[in-house]
Chain A
Amino acid sequence: MRCTRLIPLLCLLVAPLAAHANPFEHKLANGLNVIVKEDRRAPTAVHMVWYRVGSIDEKNGLTGVAHLLEHMMFKGTPNVGPGEFNRRVAAAGGRDNAFTNRDYTAYFQQTPKAQLEEMMRLEADRMRHLTLDPKEFAQEIKVVMEERRMRTDDQPPALLYEQMNAVAFQASPYRAPVIGWMNDLENMSVEDARDWYDRWYVPNNAYVVVVGDVDHDEVFRLAEQYYGPLEPRALPLRKPQEEPKQLGIRRLTVKAPAELPVLLMAYKAPVIRDVERDVDPYALEMLGAILDGHDAARFPQRLVKELRVAVNAGSGYDSTARGPSLFFLQGSPSEGRTVAELEAAFRAEIARIQKDGVGADELARARAQLVAAEIYKLDSMFAQAMEIGQLEAVGIPYRANERLIEKLQAVSAADVQAAARKYLDDDSLTVAVLDPQPLPKTPRPRSGAVPRH
Chain B
Amino acid sequence: MKFAKLFAGVSLCVAAQFSQAGVTIEHWQAPSGARVFFVENHTLPIVDVQLDFAAGTAYDPAGKSGLASLTRDLLDLGAGALDETQTASRLADLGASLGGGADMDRANVSLRTLSAADKLTPALAILRDVVSAPRFDAAVFEREQARTIAALKEALTRPETIAARAFWSAMYPQHPYGVQSSPESLTAITRTDLVAFHARHYGAARTTLTLVGDLTRARAEAIAAELTAALPSGSDVAPPPELAPAVGSERRIAHPAAQAHLLIGMAAVRRGDPDYFPLLVGNYTLGGGGFVSRLMKEVRDRRGYAYSVYSYFMPMQQPGPFNIGLQTKKAQAGAALKLTREVLAGFLAEGPSAEELQAAKLNLVGSFPLRLDSNRKILENVASIGFYKLPLDYLDRYAEKVEAVSADDVRAAFARHVQAGKLTTVVVGGE
Contact = CB atoms under 8 A, between A and B. Distances in A.
Contacts of A187: none
Interface string B236-276: 00000000000000000111111100000000000000000
Interface in B1-26: 17-21
A154 B259 contact: yes
A379 interface: yes
A368 B93 contact: yes
B366 A294 contact: no
Interface in A2-21: none
A435 to B, nearest CB: 13
12 contacts: A44-B369, A44-B373, A86-B292, A93-B363, A139-B304, A142-B303, A150-B259, A153-B259, A305-B143, A334-B146, A365-B92, A372-B114
Contacts of A257: 157, 256-257
A94 B89 contact: no
- Counting chain A CB atoms within 10 Å of each CB, the highest count among B182, B365, B374 belongs to B374
Contacts of B291: 74, 83, 86, 90, 96
Interface in A147-188: 147, 149-150, 153-154
B84 A295 contact: yes
Contacts of B162: 445
Contact of A447 (B86, B93, B180): B180
Interface residues of B, number: 92
Given A139-B303, A143-B300, 20 more contacts: A42-B373, A87-B292, A90-B359, A91-B359, A92-B366, A93-B369, A94-B367, A95-B367, A96-B291, A138-B304, A142-B305, A146-B329, A154-B257, A257-B157, A258-B154, A295-B87, A364-B93, A368-B95, A376-B46, A447-B181
B89 A453 contact: no
Interface string B368-379: 111011111000
B179 A259 contact: no
A60 interface: no
B61 A43 contact: no
Interface stretch (B128-136, B168-176, B191-199): B168-176
Q: Which 5 A-B pairs rank lowest in CB-CB distance, beginning with the nearest?
A: A93-B366, A372-B95, A142-B304, A447-B182, A42-B373
B166 A93 contact: no
Interface of B: 17-21, 43-46, 61-63, 65, 84-89, 91-97, 112, 114, 143, 146-147, 149-151, 153-154, 156-157, 159, 162, 165-166, 169, 173-176, 178-182, 184-185, 253-259, 289-292, 297, 300-308, 327-329, 359, 362-363, 365-370, 372-376
Contact of A93 (B44, B114, B165, B367): B367
A143 B307 contact: yes
A293 B89 CA distance: 11
A368 B46 contact: no
Contacts of B63: 449
Given A139-B301, A260-B154, A308 B369 contact: no
Contacts of B292: 83, 86-87, 90
A362 B367 CA distance: 43
Chain A interface size range: 35 or more
B243 to A, nearest CB: 12
A447 B65 contact: yes
B369 A90 contact: no
Contacts of B173: 450
A149 B370 contact: no
A345 B141 CA distance: 23
A305 B150 contact: no
B368 A93 contact: yes
Contacts of A452: 62, 174-176, 179
Interface stretch (A197-205, A319-327, A436-444): A436-444
